[in-house]
Structure 1
């Protein structure tokens, strides 16, 4: 979709803000979580898929948006057929509800494109269109999960800044620690984000996870004063995870009594507790308010 200029864009922003302000204040907006990592290959998308299923098990309506928009992952991981993707929304060919795919446990998935390089760097018009479309359907969901790309690109920082909470996935690898720290540094210095949560993936036990958390916390205290990092839990290394990936199914569905499923359920319980404290009267009452400043 092509926009004619600043006047039209400003008008669209005003219309979107007006619609948000007119929303039923008695209903909480969806809790928006950005799940990111800084580094690829840490199992972030797998964490997203299984947390979404765990939330759905608790009766929550969940939408996953594959926010790595040039390279689709979540639909492949879940074995979903997706004839359309977010690129068709940007082109004006489809509305967002036409693109949504039914996932396991009743979750909905908004797929990314595959190999559309122009979507790896969203301009202001595309950001505004995406905001409007997500805002229009958001009342149908309790949780919206952004599965961001890896790294510190503008798309990654955009979706992290638009979320109510930022969940970072790390492993025991030193490169993972370095990249997670780099992402927090960029989000703090350039986007004024001060609060992060950490999930440590593929560890032997919780002691190993806590060592990662303490190491990152120490670095933050030393170099990024004012930034807080909260420990949200860990996901144990389990051969069942790889088996589930090969079958393109969530491991919590295939192996409901496994240790790795128990880990995801504990993380999900902590996410749900945060939801209980979530209020539309908070300093960030709705994720899209921050996106209006583009």
Structure 2
């Protein structure tokens, strides 16, 4: 117990000096646990005294606020319509996590216009609330919105499961980002794996086709095990690692979170204005 407390204290000190990180988390296929991963990753970083900002970038079907049991009054729709500033819509989740909620059931926002994108660039450029980690929970698939947010971030984590459709769709996402947006670095997280072997076999299948057809060497971030209690945490609208801190899932998520912090990409892009303008191909 004493050693555990000592280790946690050392972790808090160690992980409070990193540079700002802006990370998109995406997937080729829906239903792979992407948003649940983002929510728990945010909780882990917040437990290390990180200032965490989460953008729910699934603009038509928001979920982050639901997972945290929050009912925001305003969301990105109000920002894009010019009714609110970004700092006005922030809601605070557990451990002080700052959340920029999206709208749900708003068809018009499932495809951002150039006007909407420029508005978002302007708002984020003026955003003056400090953060250490900015997690962008994109939608699934290869829609314009997903590609926009992935290409805008400094780093992209692609969540995949062992299902053949998930692997195929993850490859499609990587292919489009590589071909059309010149993205060259992807980190792969295998979710709901039944074993370490299953997880690595899943990654290997994706890595082989990415290397053969795209000339890409993708990074294996690790895996999260299947755990039937994940559903219980979602129903309870609480983070899984908060409800089951000693589970194998929680321990592996902590390892993944530390790995991301310990290994920033060497070609990290610039500030918010820079990387969003890169995605827009303006300026």
Q: Could you tell me the TM-score, scaled by structure 2's length? A: 0.89
1:285 corresponds in structure 2 to: 270
Cross-structure match for 1:142: 132
Moved over 4 A (4+): none
Counterparts of 2:118 and 2:187, CA distance in 1: 27
- Aligned residue among 20, 32, 35 for 2:22: 32
How many angstroms apart in 2 are the aligned matches of 1:166 and 1:104? 24
* In structure 2, distance between residues paired with 1:212 and 1:263: 17
Task: Please say if residues 68 and 147 of structure 1, whose CA atoms lie closer than 8 Å, have aligned partners that are also in contact.
Answer: yes
The reply on whether 1:176 has 2:141 as its aligned counterpart is no
Equivalents in 2 of 1:290, 1:109: separation in Å? 20
Equivalences for residues 231-242 of structure 1 within 5 A: 231-242=220-231
Q: Distance in 2 between matches of 1:235 and 1:138?
A: 34
The Cα offsets for residues 126-170 of structure 1, whole Å up to 9 and x where unpaired, read as 112212222322651011111000110011000000011000000
Find the residue that maps to 1:137 and give its secondary structure: coil
- Compared CA separation, residues 138 and 103, structure 1 to 2 (3 A): same
**TM (normalized to structure 1)?**
0.86
User: Structure 1, residues 148-196: CA drift from partner, whole Å, max 9, x if none?
Assistant: 0011001100000001100000001000000000000000111111110
1:178-257 equivalences under 5 Å are: 178-225=168-215, 227-257=216-246
Q: Residue deviations 1:250-285, cap 9 Å, x none? A: 00011111111111101101111134x76xxx5622
Unaligned runs of 5+ in 1: 1-26
1:239, CA displacement in angstroms? 1.4
Mapped to 2, the partners of 1:138 and 1:258 lie a distance apart of 37
Which structure 2 segments of 5+ residues have no match?
Answer: 1-16
> For 1:72-91, what aligned pairs fall within 5 Å after superposition?
72-91=62-81
Q: Which residue is 1:105 aligned to?
A: 95
Distance 1:139 1:100 in 2: 10
> How far is the alpha carbon of 1:29 from its aligned partner?
6.4
